[in-house]
A and B are shown apart, each in its own frame.
Chain A
């Protein structure tokens, strides 16, 4: 069973484009979509709406930096501070090139910091690279399983 990819994205257009990119990258992992930092933490900690979800951590968290309620940096901080979540790969996926954001993300232990390219094809490539890299590193995909469940 492939571990899912947790995608945290509040902008619906970015969300759609990211899903298309993940789709095109032919990843078999299920993609769990949440729309803000609070939901992301609920998912990871199996609280709130995700109280009932199965145990287990996602293969990778693709985390938007600028999020309503709890922002990406806060989510990252919480993940790194929680013992059973600490090892989850977290990739900041963001529009921001602010140096302070990059510095802060790395200080908090982000695994990668990716500025979303303006060019769609580059964007697709970047997402695909990410997904493949983290999914492969964590667990080689035994088969193809296209799925995306969305909680909105």
Chain B
């Protein structure tokens, strides 16, 4: 979004911690480890004056501990009362002297803060309210013409949350200040030293002088010194803003510079030490309160997200627990991640909810994210990472994705739309500096302008990422449980199959036996008693026998049929020409009285299949042709090859009784018959077997017919590896 700003790099080289000078509203004396004067500011009457003043502090130096300056009371130097601040910097002691100013009121500012401000702070409901209170209170304590409370975002841009201004001051409420306004180095100083006052931006810095010749002023670290002279760039910036006095109080939450209370005045403004101490204290109180509020908000958000996650998971667990059900709960799914759209991707399938990119775009994105091999991935500037996203950035500039499987491309994705938000910048961060004389001049135009933030979405919060991670765990749990259930079902299925097998075994053995017995005993009776039985009794007995025989055939056929579904295919290259010739010979033997004209084409294919099953299929087709041409005086059966894009096969055409094409769907069903049993024998399983065999090979069956005009039955099988090698050359 932002081009890199030049001043960050340049300001980073400004010696802001070691300027070698102080502001002129106070004086400095620097003591060595032995208590002797090492350096003094040029605004003392001389080294001796500095030494004398330091000597007045005397034993109070023992009170110095910690990093920041501590108040060391008041000394009287040549009749002028001076407030003294002191702090240690390495082996040195830095003493700062400022003219003492007595407060006009009776109450110390710190006391009024505790009494007046603290209860208000505790009652505040939100961060915005806290900021507002702080702005008012600082204004009240200091009298600055404008106080602002602003917060830094993750990129360092400041956003004005609250302000309190006098008439004649520009309002910055709601404005943003580019991160470049406060360089990283200065930011770090704000984090360490929580208050800084510049009483007069037009000041002339007072140099530091060493007692020893050759002492280098820039060797003195003034990070914690209140009097530290600030960057000339900053002073220029202030003057450009028509600000002659400024004060900053840091808001540090945890260890992070969260924001600043920034005060400006059109006129120079000095603040007594007690007031500054109160402001610094206010900053600390505010920091604590903000930290607590943010923690609470974070906890509340996490709780809410957890509630949503659990709700989602519960609904999923109640359903058949397939992941695409997630997309069936669009409200929850979208709400959970504050997303505009979501998608569930299971390999090549995709389910969506809300506003999402197109399916192909999601697929490409999912592929790309899955390639990262991470559990959770989030981005609020997708186009930068994944350029094809430019095509759908209105819908998805931000993506949060969780991966549900290490093996499969199973992802849940949330999309956030482009955040074309209108931001009022206090100045144009892109028209930053004009480098002409080698120095940086802050911008001169502060007219608000608007920038549309393109190519990015609202960022994903840590709580949202955590919730997505939690959802991921829950989903994996569900998926695993589902897999276990499936495994159980498979086991159960295996058991049922075994039972079925046992059942068919029983049928094969125990049902055949009684049929055989009926037929056998009837035969014996006919043989032995035939002569004494009436013709009618003999006829009845023959019906009994036929029925038993038919039942036996039926059992056999059923068994054959069930076996076709169970036994594994043992595929080989099968020369159907040989197979057909053998079957034709067999059929001719079975009905020697019939004269069937068999026209078998010479180019029948070599198929890739189970030889036994293919034989069963062909026997059925040829047998049917023979059977249904029985009424013809001249029976003709043609067997020919079929070759198509889906594979090779065989068609058997007869000139028999045929069938009505509208019944073609019934032909291949089990026990479906289109003719009377008296006319044509059979169990009605033959064509069902053919279909099952062909389909188990991955092939197709078909039939065409017309009553009394004959029929055509055919099948084809997909090309297998057997086809890769053509029939041996030269051997036939």
Instruction: Indicate whether A121 sits within 8 Å of B512 (C-beta atoms), given known contacts A17-B517, A96-B505, A99-B563.
Output: no
A63 to chain B, nearest CB (A): 14
CA distance A4 to B508 in the complex (A): 30
Instruction: Indicate whether A118 sits within 8 Å of B563 (C-beta atoms), given known contacts A95-B513, A96-B505, A98-B508.
Output: no
CA distance A27 to B599 in the complex (A): 46
Q: Report which residue of B520, B521, B548, B553 has the largest number of chain A beta carbons within 10 angstroms of its beta carbon.
A: B520
Contacts of A65 in B (CB 8 A): 509
Q: Report which residue of B516, B519, B552, B556 has the largest number of chain A beta carbons within 10 angstroms of its beta carbon.
A: B516
Say yes or no: is B731 at the interface (Cβ < 8 Å to chain A).
no
Say yes or no: is B78 at the interface (Cβ < 8 Å to chain A).
no
Instruction: Indicate whether A94 sits within 8 Å of B509 (C-beta atoms), given known contacts A99-B567, A118-B552.
Output: yes
Say yes or no: is B57 at the interface (Cβ < 8 Å to chain A).
no
CA distance A86 to B508 in the complex (A): 30
Contacts of B516 in A (CB 8 A): 14, 17, 95, 116-118, 120, 123
B299 to chain A, nearest CB (A): 66
Would A97 and B559 count as touching, CB distance under 8 A? yes
**Which residue of chain A lies nearest to B612 when distances are taken between CB atoms in the complex?**
A99
CA distance A92 to B399 in the complex (A): 71
Say yes or no: is B523 at the interface (Cβ < 8 Å to chain A).
yes
Say yes or no: is A20 at the interface (Cβ < 8 Å to chain B).
yes
Would B519 and A119 count as touching, CB distance under 8 A? yes
Contacts of B505 in A (CB 8 A): 96, 98
B551-583 residues at the A interface, CB under 8 angstroms: 552-553, 556, 559, 563, 567
Select one of A17, A95, A120 contacting B509, CB under 8 A.
A95
Contacts of A13 in B (CB 8 A): 513, 517, 520-521
Would A14 and B524 count as touching, CB distance under 8 A? no
Say yes or no: is A11 at the interface (Cβ < 8 Å to chain B).
yes
Contacts of A14 in B (CB 8 A): 513, 516-517
Contacts of B523 in A (CB 8 A): 120-121
A-B interface pairs (CB < 8 A), number: 59
B520-564 residues at the A interface, CB under 8 angstroms: 520-524, 548-549, 552-553, 556, 559, 563
CA distance A52 to B83 in the complex (A): 133
Contacts of B320 in A (CB 8 A): none
Would B520 and A120 count as touching, CB distance under 8 A? yes
Contacts of B563 in A (CB 8 A): 99
**Which residue of chain A lies nearest to B511 when distances are taken between CB atoms in the complex?**
A95
Say yes or no: is B510 at the interface (Cβ < 8 Å to chain A).
yes
Say yes or no: is A66 at the interface (Cβ < 8 Å to chain B).
yes
**Which residue of chain A lies nearest to B522 when distances are taken between CB atoms in the complex?**
A120
**1/0 contact string of A55-85 vs chain B (CB within 8 Å):** 0000000000110000000000000000000
CA distance A14 to B513 in the complex (A): 8
Would B517 and A119 count as touching, CB distance under 8 A? no
CA distance A120 to B515 in the complex (A): 10
Would B508 and A96 count as touching, CB distance under 8 A? yes
CA distance A120 to B553 in the complex (A): 14
Would A120 and B508 count as touching, CB distance under 8 A? no
**Which residue of chain B lies nearest to A97 when distances are taken between CB atoms in the complex?**
B508
A103 to chain B, nearest CB (A): 10
Would B512 and A120 count as touching, CB distance under 8 A? no
Name A residues whose Cβ lies closer than 8 Å to a Cβ of B.
11, 13-14, 17, 20, 65-66, 94-99, 116-121, 123
Give the top 7 A-B pairs by smallest Cβ distance, nearest first.
Answer: A118-B552, A120-B523, A120-B520, A13-B517, A95-B512, A17-B520, A95-B509
Given contacts A99-B567, A118-B553, A120-B520, 12 further A-B contacts (CB under 8 A): A14-B517, A17-B520, A17-B524, A20-B524, A66-B509, A95-B512, A96-B505, A97-B556, A116-B516, A118-B548, A118-B556, A123-B516
Could you list 17 examples of A-B contacts with CB < 8 Å? A11-B513, A13-B521, A17-B516, A17-B517, A17-B521, A65-B509, A96-B508, A96-B509, A97-B559, A98-B508, A116-B512, A116-B513, A118-B516, A118-B556, A120-B520, A121-B523, A123-B516
